[in-house]
């Protein structure tokens, strides 16, 4: 647990201004994202039944919040970690047309998060998923979707500036693409987070490709579950991975700042390969996995975009608790209180 207190930090907006700005950012961003990617809004579950394989396992070690349902013979339900797999099921069940998709407001509880300026046990994000054709399972297509999302980010930044001229736009014109293998070769003696820090400080907006597979250093840059993003397929540049993270430079915390995790999703081949790699091949019998292997789901691309993260970045806040209501340890409450950081 740690809390970074920037020198001489003072929030640009007061609490009332912040609340209005949060609504403005969320309304504008989701409407523009939906228009840019042709997404329909759908209603999402807060919990799913345990044992179906629908819940996001994140890195495979985080514990979901669970409870038993009296009128279902004490069947166990889990609060979602995210809707990474549920969305793909909905593409099929809603009979979404090719080149269209869906998005939803996802609210989750992650009790195993290490709490700091960026991480809360409460997670809110836009989860989105879009149908792609088999021939679109390419690095170029992934980059094209990232670029379109980045354009929405820049438009949102300008709208914030129009309402609050004291918050100057800082995003560069273009987002920089780099693979985790390339980044490792540039900084082989640094840890993954330190590599991210270096490249994002230099380019200010980066899409880091290929997260989940082992790279030259002998381990993955970061963890990814084996059953949604495709991180094992070799691409046209000779590297592996059709997924990645959108990272920007946070001038308040002076650090790399993740806004989104996304990727082209596994097909049958990639799913079986990645389950084998992670020694979880028995999961192919679960509801989600068996339906995918039977060909019931379309090919897709999707991801999550942090709502509080977005607001925190655009409003130049030092702590995520300034833009969302959550629970914090006494140490963080005390440090923030002494420094004038007002947590909701």
* Active site residues per annotation: 56, 110, 125, 245, 258, 261
∠ CA 117-119-125 to the nearest 5 degrees?
120
Give the residue from 296, 289, 262 showing the smallest Cα distance to 129.
262
> What is the per-residue burial (b if ≥16 Cβ within 10 Å, else e) of 290-329?
ebbeeeebbbbbbbbbbbbbbbbbbbbbbbbbbbbebebe
The answer to whether the CB of 92 falls within 8 A of the CB of 79 is no
55 DSSP 8-state letter: S
Cα separation, 225 vs 230, whole angstroms? 9
Which stretches does DSSP call E strand in the chain?
39-41, 47-49, 66-69, 75-79, 101-109, 122-131, 176-179, 205-209, 243-250, 255-264, 300-306
284 DSSP 8-state letter: G
Report the sign of the C-alpha dihedral through residues 181, 183, 184, 185, in that order.
positive
For residue 313, the Cα-to-chain-centroid distance in whole angstroms is 15
Residue 208 sits at φ, ψ, to 5 deg, of -95, 115
- Which tokens go with 250? 């946070």
- Cα torsion through 330, 327, 56, 85, rounded to 10: -150
∠ CA 83-88-89 to the nearest 5 degrees?
95
């Amino acid at each position: 647990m740690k809390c970074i207190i920037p020198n001489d930090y003072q929030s640009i907006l007061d609490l009332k201004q912040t609340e209005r700005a949060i609504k403005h950012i969320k309304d504008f961003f989701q409407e523009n994202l939906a228009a840019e990617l042709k997404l329909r809004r759908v209603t999402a579950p807060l919990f799913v039944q345990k044992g179906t394989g629908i819940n996001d396992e994140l890195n495979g070690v985080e514990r979901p919040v669970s409870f038993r349902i009296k009128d279902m013979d004490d069947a166990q339900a889990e609060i979602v970690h995210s809707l990474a797999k549920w969305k793909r099921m909905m593409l099929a069940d809603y009979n979404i047309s090719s080149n269209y998709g869906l998005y939803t407001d996802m609210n989750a509880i992650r009790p195993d998060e290490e709490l700091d300026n960026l991480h809360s046990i409460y997670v809110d994000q836009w989860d989105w998923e879009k149908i792609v054709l088999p021939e679109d399972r390419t690095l170029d297509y992934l980059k094209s979707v990232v670029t379109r999302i980045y354009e929405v980010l820049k438009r949102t930044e300008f709208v914030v500036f129009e309402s609050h001229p004291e918050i100057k736009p800082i995003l560069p014109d273009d987002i920089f693409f780099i693979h985790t293998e390339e980044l490792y070769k540039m900084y082989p003696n640094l840890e993954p987070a330190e590599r991210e820090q270096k490249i994002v400080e230099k380019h200010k907006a980066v899409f880091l490709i290929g997260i989940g597979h082992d790279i030259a250093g002998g381990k993955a840059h970061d963890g990814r579950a084996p059953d949604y993003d495709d991180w094992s397929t070799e691409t046209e540049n000779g590297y592996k991975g059709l997924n990645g993270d959108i990272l920007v430079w946070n001038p308040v915390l002076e650090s790399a700042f993740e806004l989104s995790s996304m990727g082209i999703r596994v097909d049958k081949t990639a799913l079986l390969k990645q389950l084998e790699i992670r020694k979880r091949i028995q999961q192919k019998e679960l509801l989600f996995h068996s339906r995918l292997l039977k060909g019931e789901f379309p090919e897709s691309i999707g991801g999550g975009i942090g709502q509080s993260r977005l607001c925190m970045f655009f409003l130049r806040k030092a702590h995520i608790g300034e833009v969302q209501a959550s629970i914090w340890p006494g140490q963080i409450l005390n440090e923030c209180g002494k420094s004038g950081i007002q947590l909701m």
